[in-house]
Amino acid sequence: MTKIAAAIMVSNLDQALALAAKAAELGADLVEYRVDNLAESPDGAEVVNALIEKSPLPCIITCRAAWEGGECDCDDQTRVSFLENACLNGEMRPAYLDFELASHQKSFNIRQKVELMVDHPGQIREVPTGLILSSHDFDTRPVDLYQRVEAMAHAAACRVIKVAWNARSLRDNIEAFEVLQSQYKPTIALCMGEDGLPSRVLAKKFGALLTFAAIDGQPGTAPGQPTITQLKQSYRWDKLNAQTKVYGVIGYPVGHSMSPAIFNAAFDEQDYDGVYLPMRIEPSYESFKATVLSWLDLPSLHFKGASVTIPHKENLIRFVTEQGGEVEQLAQKIGAANTLTVRDDGSLYASNSDYAGALDAVVQNMGIPREEVKDLRVAVIGAGGAARAIVAGFSHYGATVVVYNRTLQKAQKLAEEFTNPYGKVVAAPMDKLCDSCCQVFINCTPLGMHPNVDTSPLPADFAGYGPGIVVFDTVYNPRNTLLLRQARAAGCLTIPGTEMFIRQAATQYSLWTNQQAPVDCFSRVLLSRLG
């Protein structure tokens, strides 16, 4: 079973033991003591002896050389002598000793000394410590990655193979999974940096020996390490297994997205065997295509779908079309899709849940069926991506839509594209908004969005406000925008953007799981994040 190893950069005995106790409490299985800064300290070896003896969890001892990304500047001889004193002189032994492949290969003498400290087929004493041979690249994927793995696999004294490198993109995670699948020996294969998160979370799915995690509130010892609590609570660590289905939110950037939090909480609530990850992909079609193909091409990853956001909504349609998949008709017309579904037979389906999310937010709050949308006169403010989906949805159901936009030509283009036999769409300049006699107003501009929370597309004294009027703000951060506060004060029915967000996510959830989405859970998590 894959373990969580809490990484601790040791500065002194008490600090390290206190952090190790906290790691144990948080649910770590192992602790890695990074003793890089003790190698030249006069009592460094004694501190490590005491650490090993008093550690609340089995431990890995690592004294990482500076040239390998660590903090120890000593030469290899000094470092190995320190490790001998640190690991052999005390009462207890560490579970593992981590040593760099490069140093192990460089000198027979060093190799011999390291091998005296660990268990291996040629060892004549009883030694409980296993050797982790490791290789790190903090810049990029090493060109000789597989040669390094093979060298570790063939080193008789090596019990565990460890490779870690800085992910150049999400695609590097796939190689980490392939290294784990080669199963020569127990293996740790991790990608560092923001794009390496999947390798850290899915280490358990691919049977790694362990993944490293930072202790909550601590900086961690390598870029991109999640905390123990993030792994266990946000990414469902305890539930992950080889069959777990993988989903994600594709965009650039995606670090701020609330989708991982709401989907993982929903999977948990319904005990659905899935996990949902942020998936950052550079904003070009080539990057989108190459990355999504690489994730689809590894069957053991069980990549089953993604929410797709800016700037890849158009790319999704092109990709699914090129791959011979199906594109929802209205998504095709909108020219943007936000949902990728990988069906059971492996075929792809691209759809748009934004328009349905917005439509349902309005009709359900008004207490009318979708069919009655045809009787509505709707003002859409803005003519960007969100407006496009909303105009498409409302005009499809027969509403009369007036698009008000700062750049009139964009509103006119929308009107031309989406006027249809049932729904009329007309364009109007923004300064005519105050004369509007629409019944429903939908803000599709970023006006009012954090940090510009004091802006609104409509003035407080707008004459059109009043009972019977519906004001829907697609902005959801903050939840209670200035527009909504003013409209509510004037007696309008107001709908926050969170309702669209939750409903569009619910549509995705049902498509992927064939289950009704737990919308209360979505709301709870989203509102707790928005404060």
User: Of the candidates 243, 239, 187, 234, which has an alpha carbon nearest to the alpha carbon of residue 213?
Assistant: 234
| Residue 321 contacts residue 294 (beta carbons within 8 Å) | no
N-terminal to C-terminal alpha carbon distance within the chain? 37
CB of 492 to ligand NAP, least distance (A): 18
**x-or-dash pattern for ligand NAP, window 38-67, by CB under 6 A?**
------------------------------
Pairing mode of beta strands 400-405, 493-495:
unpaired
Helix (H, G, I), strand (E, B) or coil at 247: strand
Q: What is the footprint of ligand NAP within residues 431-490 (CB under 6 A)? A: 444-447, 449, 474-476
Kindly report the backbone phi and psi dihedral angles of residue 478, in degrees, each rounded to the nearest multiple of 5, phi listed first: -80, 165
CB of 350 to ligand NAP, least distance (A): 17
313 is catalytic: yes
Going by the DSSP 8-state scheme, the letter that residue 231 receives in this structure is I
CB of 47 to ligand NAP, least distance (A): 52
333 is catalytic: no
Q: Output the six-digit token pair for 21.
A: 């106790």
Q: Which of 136, 302, 304, 396 is catalytic?
A: 136
Could you give the C-alpha distances from 487 to 220, 453, 458, 498, in angstroms and in order? 47, 15, 9, 17
CA distance 3 to 435: 64
CB of 498 to ligand NAP, least distance (A): 7
Is the CB of 60 or the CB of 386 nearer to ligand NAP? Answer: 386
CB of 308 to ligand NAP, least distance (A): 12
Is the CB of 24 or the CB of 530 nearer to ligand NAP? Answer: 530
Q: Is 209 one of the binding residues for ligand NAP (CB under 6 A)?
A: no
Is the CB of 387 or the CB of 517 nearer to ligand NAP? Answer: 387
Q: What is the footprint of ligand NAP within residues 354-413 (CB under 6 A)? A: 354, 382-387, 405-407, 410
Inter-axis angle of helices 44-54 and 76-88, nearest 10? 40
Binding residue for ligand NAP, selected from 500, 506, 521, 526, defined by CB under 6 A: 500
CA distance 356 to 505: 10
Is the CB of 209 or the CB of 475 nearer to ligand NAP? Answer: 475
Is the CB of 193 or the CB of 311 nearer to ligand NAP? Answer: 311
Is the CB of 211 or the CB of 307 nearer to ligand NAP? Answer: 307
CB of 231 to ligand NAP, least distance (A): 28
CB of 353 to ligand NAP, least distance (A): 9
Is the CB of 214 or the CB of 361 nearer to ligand NAP? Answer: 361
CA distance 417 to 340: 25
Kindly report the backbone phi and psi dihedral angles of residue 145, in degrees, each rounded to the nearest multiple of 5, phi listed first: -50, -50
Residue nearest to ligand NAP (CB): 384
144 is catalytic: no
Q: Which of 195, 354, 360, 473 is catalytic?
A: 354
Instruction: Count other C-beta atoms under 10 Å from residue 43's C-beta.
Output: 12
Q: Which of 22, 98, 104, 162 is catalytic?
A: 162
HSE-up of residue 221 (Cα within 13 Å, Cβ side)? 26
Q: Is 504 one of the binding residues for ligand NAP (CB under 6 A)?
A: yes
**x-or-dash pattern for ligand NAP, window 337-356, by CB under 6 A?**
-----------------x--
CA distance 304 to 341: 6
Question: Does the bond joining 496 to the residue before it have cis omega, within 30 degrees of 0?
Answer: no
Going by the DSSP 8-state scheme, the letter that residue 215 receives in this structure is P
Is the CB of 180 or the CB of 447 nearer to ligand NAP? Answer: 447
Q: 279 - beta bridge partners?
A: 250
Instruction: Count other C-beta atoms under 10 Å from residue 160's C-beta.
Output: 20
CB of 442 to ligand NAP, least distance (A): 10
- By CB under 6 A, the count of residues binding ligand NAP is 23
| CA-atom Rg of the chain in angstroms | 28
Q: Output the six-digit token pair for 58.
A: 């089995």
312 is catalytic: no
Which residues are near ligand NAP by CB under 6 A?
Answer: 354, 382-387, 405-407, 410, 444-447, 449, 474-476, 497, 500-501, 504
Residues marked as catalytic: 136, 162, 313, 354
